[in-house]
Amino acid sequence: MAEAHFNANKIFITLFILTAVEVAWGSLVPYEMKPALWGGLLIFAFWKGILIFQYFMHMKFEGWIVKCLIAPTPILILIVYFALLPDVALNDDTLYQVGDQLDPENGEVVEIGKGSRNLVLHAGSEEDGGH
Amino acid sequence: MSKAVAAYDPAVDAPAHHHPIFDYDSGPPVDRGKFAIWLFLATEIMFFTGLIGTYLVLRTGAPSWPNPAERLAVDITAFNTFVLIVSSWTVVRALMAIQKGDQGGLVKWLGLSILLGAFFVGVQAYEYLELIKHGALPNQDLFWSTFYSMTGFHGLHVIVGVIWLIVLWIGAVRGKFSAENCVAIELGGLYWHFVDLVWVLLFTLVYLM
């Protein structure tokens, strides 16, 4: 077992303060200022995540076997997110937007904002009425 | 008869158990339980990576996305996040207690962790009931479907974690653990901290961003 020499109370208080600051950041920064809002929130979230991972999960004090065991995971995460990047960055060029729906009656695509949501709700209410 | 054949003694030359006896352990130089739990956690990380990745694609692909603060009770969930962080700390204290041979401390800190974990699940269940009462169902729109998927799967993990802690607590009450035999507490703790870590990210992504 890894011998963990760290001050758990200190880590706990740091996590506590970071959460308070994060919530304040999320409340005070306007929702429209996305770069500032998202940037700040992600910094706080990753900071807290690293503290939990390194100290509470003892990764800082583990040997090379355990570190090697978990090392492929961040690489795989990066691969997954790089693979998803085109879907994020090129969504203006996609044929259909997220939220578009297929009308089952005539087989046409109803765009979001032009009644696609009503289509789903309408279909749901028809089903309810049928029972 | 040759001398060699005459000297042949089955009891010595062909013993029933003649497996080679090595003076080393052929396994990895780490506790097997810890090896297994980290492998398991790696798969869990990839599971939540998939969920969060899907959320990001759907969210950035949607023409508009509502401000979570207008739909969710962020203040209550922020308090719940504090509760989960406190429970992680109490699990650390439980492990520290048993590493010093303090069985009473282990029972106390594990018990507190269970209560905090159960409180977290209770608040989440209450939140779901209130949302459903107001018509916020997973099939309403993308916001709600992603919300229920991510927080629901996390909630299931918390429930599993609480059950795991209860099993450990029963063992602790029976005096099963000691300073020399406390790997099981460490493994349960690792899972619990992982659940806490995932929540730290989900809370930010779903409730604050």
Q: What is the pLDDT of residues A92-121, one digit of tens each?
A: 666 777 677 778 788 888 877 676 655 555
Q: Of the given ranges (A63-67, B49-53, B105-109, B123-127), which has the lowest mean pLDDT? A: A63-67
Which span out of A101-110, B22-31, B34-43 was modeled with the highest average pLDDT? B34-43
Q: Give residue for tokens 């003694």.
A: B9
Amino acid (one-letter) located at A45: A
Q: Do β-strands A109-110 and A101-102 pair in parallel, antiparallel, or remain unpaired?
A: antiparallel
Using a CB-CB distance cutoff of 8 angstroms, which residues of chain B are in contact with residue A81? 49, 53, 56
> What band does A36 get if pLDDT is binned at 50, 70 and 90?
very high
B30 sits in which H/E element: none
Contact A114, B63 (CB under 8 A): no
In whole angstroms, give the CA distance from residue B12 to residue B8: 8
Query: Under an 8 A CB cutoff, do B197 and A124 touch?
Result: no
In whole angstroms, give the CA distance from residue B8 to residue B14: 9
Contact B148, B138 (CB under 8 A): yes
Q: Which of residues 120-159 of B touch A (CB under 8 A)?
A: 139, 141-142
Using a CB-CB distance cutoff of 8 angstroms, which residues of chain B are in contact with residue A38? 209
- With CA atoms as reference, the chain A residue closest to B68 would be A31
B156, with CB counted inside 10 A (0-12, 13-18, 19+), is: exposed
Query: Under an 8 A CB cutoff, do B197 and A53 touch?
Result: yes
For residue A36, the distance in angstroms to the closest alpha carbon of chain B comes to 11
Contact A67, A57 (CB under 8 A): no
pLDDT of amino acid B2: 64
What CATH topology corresponds to B44-59+70-208?
Four Helix Bundle (Hemerythrin (Met), subunit A) (1.20.120)
Q: Give residue for tokens 């599971």.
A: B47
Mutate to test the interface with B, among A98, A100, A101, A126 (most CBs of B within 10 A): A98
Q: Of the given ranges (A40-54, A79-93, B109-123, B159-173), which has the lowest mean pLDDT? A: A79-93
pLDDT digits (tens, 9 = 90+) for A10-23: 999 999 999 999 99
Using a CB-CB distance cutoff of 8 angstroms, which residues of chain B are in contact with residue A15? 85, 88-89
pLDDT of amino acid B104: 96
B151, with CB counted inside 10 A (0-12, 13-18, 19+), is: buried
Domain spans, chain B: 44-59+70-208
pLDDT of amino acid B26: 67
Query: Under an 8 A CB cutoff, do B30 and A63 touch?
Result: yes
Query: Under an 8 A CB cutoff, do A99 and B49 touch?
Result: no
Tokens at A22, concatenated: 């994060």
Residue ranges with strand state E in A1-131: 101-102, 109-110
Residues 6+ apart with CB under 8 A from A125: none
Which whole-number Å values give the CA distances from A27 to A22, A70, B124, B144, in the listed order?
9, 35, 21, 21
Q: Which of residues 65-124 of A touch B (CB under 8 A)?
A: 65-66, 69-70, 72-73, 76-77, 80-81, 84, 87-88, 91, 94, 97-99, 112-113, 117, 120, 124
- Using the Cβ of B43 and the Cβ atoms of chain A, whether some distance falls under 8 Å is answered with no
Task: Quote the mean pLDDT of chain B.
Answer: 90
B206, with CB counted inside 10 A (0-12, 13-18, 19+), is: buried
Amino acid (one-letter) located at B33: G
B42 sits in which H/E element: helix B32-61
- Using the Cβ of B200 and the Cβ atoms of chain A, whether some distance falls under 8 Å is answered with yes
- Name the phi and psi angles at B85, rounded to 5: -65, -40
In whole angstroms, give the CA distance from residue B95 to residue B34: 15
How many contacts does A have with B, using Cβ atoms within 8 A? 143
A54 sits in which H/E element: none
pLDDT of amino acid A128: 46
Contact B101, B178 (CB under 8 A): yes
pLDDT of amino acid B1: 56
For residue B160, the distance in angstroms to the closest alpha carbon of chain A comes to 18
Residues 6+ apart with CB under 8 A from B140: none
pLDDT of amino acid A74: 92
3 state DSSP class of A90? coil
For residue A76, the distance in angstroms to the closest alpha carbon of chain B comes to 8
Mutate to test the interface with B, among A5, A9, A10, A73 (most CBs of B within 10 A): A73
Average pLDDT rounded to a whole number, residues B134-144: 89
Q: Compute how many other C-beta atoms are within 10 angstroms of the C-beta atom of residue B164.
A: 19
pLDDT of amino acid A118: 59
Contact B152, B87 (CB under 8 A): no
A113 sits in which H/E element: none
Tokens at B35, concatenated: 């090896």
